[in-house]
Structure 1
Amino acid sequence: MFDHVKFGVSDYAASKAFFLKSLEPLGIVIASEGPPAYGVELCQPGGKSSLCLFETQEKPAHLHVAFAAKNRQQVEAFYRAALDAGGKDNGAPGLRPHYHANYYAAFVIGPDGHNIEVVCNEPEA
């Protein structure tokens, strides 16, 4: 749906480590990286969209970013990895039928207070 999303973080090293570990279950890797003021681009190998982080002292508004999972197991793996990486629970893996019958998601708050979601829209396999 998007080409890339880029946002500032206050602690580049901590945020980079958090996103790499949290999104590893989705196959997310570093596509390119420069100095912290330029940042890092994260995506799936061969992917067409990316998440970019850069260091800044500005205090941006909190952001909600949702990543697509292929299955519910990826949602659960993301949630565990994100908590292990220092994220704070903002909604354990589970169905969110108020969105639609197969909306299975998990939410965590990252180092800068951003709401990071991984969602699978497919029925249970």
Structure 2
Amino acid sequence: MLDHVSVQCDDLAASRAFYERLLAPLGVTVAMDYGDALGLAGPDGFPRFWLGKAQGGVQREIHVAFVAPDRAAVDKVFEAAQELGTEILHEPREWPEYHPGYYGVFVRDPDGNNVEAVTHS
């Protein structure tokens, strides 16, 4: 449904390193780099997730969920999060309260946002 999402980062370099490593199991890479803004793309090559330098003000937590092709990819995102030393909000598991087959992991990014990798298999 969404075309793209952009989040503001206190430390763009730290956020880039975090997201490049965390989302590598999902085939996500930096597709566009404007110096103060980065567009990350999945296998389709279209930059749908953007990181930008903070513009001031107080940042509020956001939640963003990335599509994983299967449970193995969700588990690999979890492994990447552990290697990054980030806060794990919820380890990978099925969430039947959402719907049968909803399998996801939830972690914090460097700016305190809630980041999820999920498959609906």
Q: TM-score per shorter chain, which class? A: over 0.9
1:79-90 equivalences under 5 Å are: 79-90=78-89
Normalization by structure 2: what TM-score?
0.93
Which is strand-richer, 1 or 2? 2
**Following TM superposition, by how much is the alpha carbon of 1:24 offset from its aligned partner in structure 2, in angstroms?**
0.1
Number of the residue aligned with 2:2: 2
Normalization by structure 1: what TM-score?
0.90
Number of the residue aligned with 1:13: 13
Cα distance in structure 1, aligned partners of 2:34 and 2:84: 23
**Following TM superposition, by how much is the alpha carbon of 1:86 offset from its aligned partner in structure 2, in angstroms?**
3.2
Q: Deviations over 1:58-96 (max 9, x none)?
A: 232111000111100000001111221232100000011
> Unpaired runs of 5+ in structure 2?
none
CA RMSD of aligned residues (A): 1.3
> Percent identity over the alignment?
37
CA contact (8 A) 1:107 1:118 kept: yes
Q: Deviations over 1:33-74 (max 9, x none)?
A: 0122xx100011324461000111523211100011110000
Cα distance in structure 1, aligned partners of 2:85 and 2:48: 22
Number of the residue aligned with 2:97: 98
Q: Greater shift after overlay, 20-29 or 74-83?
A: 74-83
Counterpart secondary structure, 2:2: coil
Cα distance in structure 1, aligned partners of 2:116 and 2:6: 16
1:1-125 equivalences under 5 Å are: 1-36=1-36, 39-48=37-46, 50-56=48-54, 58=56, 59-122=58-121
Cα distance in structure 1, aligned partners of 2:45 and 2:34: 20
Cα distance in structure 1, aligned partners of 2:100 and 2:66: 18
> Unpaired runs of 5+ in structure 1?
none
